[in-house]
Amino acid sequence: MTTSFFFRRYQAILRWLPAFLLAIAIFCFSATPGEEVAQSYDSVEVTLQSIMPAATPADPAADSVSPAIDWLKAGHAIGYFGLGLAVLFSLSARSRWSPGIALFLCFLYSITDEFHQIFTPGRSASPRDILLDTLAALAGVAIMLGVMASRRYFKIRP
């Protein structure tokens, strides 16, 4: 009897591990000074340009093929998408409020992340980033809800 109690307790702690690791990763990326971020994104652009073949001037669609990507915003979206997935996984959607709670926790973390960036050299806080982060977390929560629903739907019952 005590074994199952301890197993359930540690299982609940382990379910939160991905969310905590993602939150730490987001914090570390937010703590990176703006100059280092710009250098790393410039190196990503150079690498991508060396991998992708250059468009020829004779190609009429050359301008529409290579849109500029804002890698900083893409990083926000990827991080908070994963955080939304992980937080809902941690809550395990046991109640109908779990998706709302997961989204609210991601929203609060986004606010604290932007506040943290005020104190990072070369970085600034932006309400648009909070909106982007929250929308990305919403997408992660929605995908996780779909995964959970499909698992329940396809579960073989004896």
Q: Is residue 49 part of a domain?
A: no
Written as tens digits, the pLDDT of the chain (158 aa) is 556 776 777 887 888 999 999 999 999 988 888 777 667 666 666 666 677 665 555 555 555 444 566 777 888 899 999 999 999 999 976 678 999 999 999 999 999 999 998 988 888 889 999 999 999 999 999 999 998 888 777 776 65
State the pLDDT at residue 87. 95
Q: Is residue 145 part of a domain?
A: yes
Give the total number of structural domains in the chain.
1
SS3 153: helix
State the pLDDT at residue 158. 57
**Contact residues for 81 (Cβ-Cβ < 8 A; gap 6+):** 136, 137, 139, 140, 143
State the pLDDT at residue 66. 47
For 143, the domain range is 16-41+69-153
What's the per-residue H, E or C state across the chain?
CHHHHHHHHHHHHHHHHHHHHHHHHHHHHHCCCHHHHHHHHHHHHHHHHHHCCCCCCCCCCHHHHCCCCCHHHHHHHHHHHHHHHHHHHHHCCCCCCHHHHHHHHHHHHHHHHHHHHHCCCCCCCCHHHHHHHHHHHHHHHHHHHHHHHHHHHCCCCC
State the pLDDT at residue 130. 95
State the pLDDT at residue 156. 63
Q: Is residue 60 part of a domain?
A: no
Q: Is residue 61 part of a domain?
A: no
pTM of the model: 0.76
